[in-house]
A and B are shown apart, each in its own frame.
Chain A
Amino acid sequence: MATCTDAEPAGVTQAGAAGAGGDRQPAVLVRGLTKRYGEIEAVRGIDFEVAAGETFGFLGPNGAGKSTTIKILCTLAQPTSGIARVAGHDVRRERDAVRRNIGLVFQDTTLDNYLTAEQNLRFHAELYAVPKAAVGPRMRQVLDMVGLWDRRGSLVSTYSGGMQRRLEIARGLLHAPRVLFLDEPTVGLDPQTRSSIWEYINELKRREDITIFLTTHYMDEAEHCDRIAIIDHGKIQAIDTPEALKASVGKDRVQISTADDQAAIAELGEKFGIEAAIHESMVTFSVEAGEQFVPRLFAELGIAIRSVSVSRPSLDDVFMSYTGRTIRDTEASAADAMRMMRQRFRGRR
């Protein structure tokens, strides 16, 4: 399955990230950033850049320093040391300039349920001093973008969770920010609503000249990003395109079903030096460049092969490997997988 979007080849964004994206300054620039809460060092000297126009995913387990970093970038927390510039402004010294240039969509809703959608947007427009003449057309534009123009007169309390999130995205865009921060934009939504939110975000990328900085717990959503940074223990563990990150994890997972599975396992060990095991009632093993390996397998394995599947490492695998938590073992039993999932859920609480 091709995961990299055709419109945004990995190379282009990497070039942009490296600072070769023209004369535009990076949307976010972080150098040697640290944040200390008393004894605890939540962020331990991180550096990264987000190019203008990029969709940047910021991933990490809870307590990894992810929220702290976002708070600093949004001027909600002061860094202990280091530099953070957003839209060209220093978060420490030019707080209001940063605030004018960023849109925020938080994990928890920040709408007034007792106002209509339109009133919520008007409130925002006034607080951000959007020029009066622009308020009407701009409001229409952002509400159209998230498909809520027809419902603008309804009280927000009558909105579903997905609609509220869409309204928050529209509101975050109202003052035409240069960087939009989406903190877990789809958390707590059902899968269908999640994917519709992503349709709107992708639409927004097409329509607006904007940089998106997002966090998510859903690895399938991280695929939408041009680049991903994985933070853990207060440090950036990896930063690259989803493709490159997956490639860096290395081995593909191959599953075959054969006429004699036990013999196949023995054969794989002898001929190729590969450790294989039965998993999901298939002979399963990991190997580099799985697609190139399969023809060799057919030629050299003396046992009839009935079916083959090769799968690339997922971002889940990437995340697991970089956060130093359990690397998802391709040989893991179903019970192990369940336990791992439970751990991950617990970690999220």
Chain B
Amino acid sequence: MAVPTKQAAAPSAGPVLTETIRVAVPGRGIRQDLRAIGIVWRRELIRFGRDRLRAVTSLIQPVLFLFVLGTGLSALAGRGMPAGVNLRTFLYPGVLAMSVLFTALFSAGSIVWDREFGFLREMLVAPVSRGAIVLGKCLGGTTVATLQGIVILLLAGLAGVPYSPVLIFTLIGELLLLGFTLTAFGVMVAARITQFQAFMALTQMLVMPLFFLSGALYPLNGLPAWLTVLTRIDPLTYIVDPMRSAVFSHLNITPAALRFMSPGVTWAGWTVPIGLSLGIVAVMGTAMAAIAIAEFRKTE
């Protein structure tokens, strides 16, 4: 083989490799899929770490709700609140859910972004299953959304929520579940949308109703019938309630106050157990992830 003259002339930073590195790419298997999941997940973290502005801006809304709305309204609502309970404490679980909501959907939306800018193609032409890519994306979104939630979690004291390890771990677990379900939902939607603006418009349209109907801002008992029905349909209800239940079970308040502040979700008078609530969210997340995988199998 002739010596490539251009190479010899070029000032090389290190030893010039003359031998071609032989690479034998293995066939498809679980290990290959795990590596694919891992790298798609890691990319999500790298990009999140690089986008500090996004991390800060997506904190603004939850913080406004928690401290501005929470503090402002407590003057009004104060009279109806049981002794020793702050309105901010009541709003806290909903605000946690909100911070995850934005980050998870934004993270899922980057699929649309990737499609517009071509990078999605790099993923879709690789010899890995579409399932691995979708799963990596969902787990990546789950992780960054939970990290965002953890920032709000650090502010717990300011909302009158105790820093109990059990409570913190319970809430983190619930944030992970919520993050996964929301990302899966976002990815499922993103599979069919080709423009980032369209995706953002659609999610903006969904976020507020989901949030307002979830019981994040008011207790779920004693509502008019139409609102009762709507709140029970909202999937977010089934995660806000377990989170609120976790928070209030760690407060030093009377059982009457607890029942008043965190009555639980009822279906025609029957109180839905926490486990079932979480199960509903988990099943929805899994189903939407499955639909997302099926959608991506169809493309190209």
A112 touches B43 (CB 8 A): yes
Chain B contact residues: over half helix, strand or loop, or mixed?
loop
Further pairs besides A106-B118, A115-B43: 8, Cβ < 8 Å: A96-B27, A99-B127, A100-B127, A109-B117, A129-B25, A129-B31, A176-B21, A207-B4
**Residues of A within 8 A of B (CB-CB), count:** 48
CB neighbours (8 Å) of B126 from chain A are 99, 124, 127-128
Stretch at the interface among B8-16, B89-97, B180-188: B8-16
* Complex contact B125–A76 (CB within 8 A): yes
Question: Is A138's CB within 8 Å of the partner chain B?
Answer: yes
B26 in the interface, Cβ–Cβ < 8 Å?
yes
Contact partner of B20 (CB less than 8 A), chosen from A174, A203, A207, is: A207
Which chain A residue has the least Cβ–Cβ distance from B123?
A: A127
Residues of B within 8 A of A130 (CB): 23, 25
**Structural contact, B25 and A128, CB atoms closer than 8 A:** yes
Residues in A273-290 with C-beta less than 8 Å from chain B: none
A141 at the interface (CB under 8 A from B): yes
Rounded to whole angstroms, the CA-CA distance of A309 and B188 in the bound complex is 65
- Of B32-40, B246-254, B257-265, the stretch lying at the interface with chain A is B32-40
A111 to B114, CA, bound (A): 9
Which residue of B has the minimal Cβ distance to A140? B17
Closest A residue, CB atoms, query B16? A144
Residues of B within 8 A of A104 (CB): 125
Within 8 Å of chain A (Cβ to Cβ): is B2?
yes
User: Is the C-beta of B163 less than 8 angstroms from some C-beta in chain A?
Assistant: no
- Listed residue (A110, A115, A119, A141) with the most chain B CB atoms within 10 angstroms of its CB: A110
Q: Within the assembled complex, what's the spacing in Å between the Cα atoms of A174 and B24?
A: 11
Q: Total interface residues on B, using CB and 8 Å?
A: 43
Picked from B23, B35, B43, the residue with its CB within 8 Å of the CB of A176 is B23
| B28 CB contacts on chain A under 8 angstroms | 96
Chain A min CB distance to B210 (Å): 29
* Residues 125-152 of B contacting A (Cβ, < 8 Å): 125-128
B14: chain A residues within 8 A (beta carbon): 140
Q: Which residues of A contact B1 (CB under 8 A)?
A: 206
Q: How far is B25's CA from A176's CA once the two chains are assembled, in angstroms?
A: 8
A99 to B127, CA, bound (A): 5
The answer to whether B39 and A126 touch across the interface, beta carbons within 8 angstroms, is yes
The answer to whether the Cβ of A48 comes within 8 Å of any Cβ in the partner chain is no
What are 26 A-B contacts defined by CB distance under 8 Å?
A: A75-B125, A96-B27, A96-B127, A97-B127, A104-B125, A106-B121, A110-B118, A110-B119, A111-B119, A114-B50, A115-B43, A123-B39, A123-B43, A127-B35, A129-B36, A129-B127, A130-B23, A134-B21, A138-B23, A144-B12, A144-B16, A176-B20, A206-B1, A206-B4, A207-B20, A209-B20
Residue of B nearest to A149 (CB): B13
Smallest beta-carbon distance A147→chain B, Å: 7
Among A95, A129, A206, A208, the most chain B Cβ lie within 10 Å of the Cβ of A129
Check B7 for interface membership: any CB of A closer than 8 A: yes
Residues of chain B in range 82-121 having any CB-CB distance to chain A below 8 Å: 114, 117-119, 121
A175 CB contacts on chain B under 8 angstroms: 23, 25
B31 to chain A, nearest CB (A): 7
A134 x B23 contact (CB < 8 A): yes
